[in-house]
Amino acid sequence: MDIVVFGAGSLGSLVGGLLARAHDVTLVGRDPHVRRVREAGLRVTGDVETTVHPDARTEPPAGADLAVVTVKAFDTDAAADALAGRDLDCCLSLQNGMGNEATLATALDAPVLAGTCTYGARLTDPGVVACTGVGEVVLGDRTGGTSEPAERVGAAFDEAGIETTVAADMPRRLWEKLAVNAGINATTALARVENGALRDGPAGEVAHDAARETARVARAEGAELAADEAVAAVDRVVEATAANRSSMLQDVESGRRTEVDAISGFVAAGEKATPVNETTARLLRAWEHSRGLR
């Protein structure tokens, strides 16, 4: 399969690198990372060790069988604009936050699938990405139900050795993913700790409370996500990616804007009372404001 990965940061580079073991992959990102990949290939280290040689560029190609979008939620509009008019058979969002799939579907003349990914990833140098935890990719029709494009994409991921599940309940799973992100990303970013620090203790309690609140909002929106299911999902990801520094923590450490609006902020914007998510969102926004990032 001919695959373009739009957003070759940590996760995009890891997913693209793993896919390149079996498919023709083009990474779309920024220099100096993509330049180094063009010159010497992409080296994957950590829990997966491999070196692959995908194409790498700063603009997407004219077309592909599949576009995998891994940009930050606040860059989804720009990704949709960049991919609009390209000859794509299918698009898969593996992004954090809610609403990304609808934004892409509005702009693209191709089916848009929803997905979640619990692999841990961290760019360590230009041309090098560390896999800090082997997780799973779950994908399917963004509105739920079965989907031939989802089956085809799932088979391609399987062929590349990526742990993959094709699911018929993606709307619920997106809420579960939001609960995981609200629990892990915001908490680790504020406490400046790796995911494994949430196994127990006060940080873990905050993560669990944030996940419970997300589940409550999900149920109000018609998604069947119980509080204990949301907490269990947080614990599974923490265990699988204990050594990982969450994407939001990496953003804070690098002085970059975070995805707080699409995660904790999205939960706090619901009609249900969500004091933990509201507090973490306010603190992260305050940090961004103090650095001129919003």
Name the residues annotated as catalytic. 177
List CB contacts of 75: < 8 A, sequence separation 6 or more. Answer: 7
Closest listed residue to residue 225, CA positions, set 292, 177, 164 = 177
Q: Would you mind telling me the total number of residues written for the chain in this entry?
A: 294
Classify each residue of 154-185 as buried b or exposed e, where b means 16 or more C-beta atoms within 10 Å of its C-beta: bebbeebebebebbeebbbbbbbbbbbbbbbb
Give 69's strand partners: 6, 93
- Euclidean distance between CA atoms 278 and 18, whole angstroms: 36
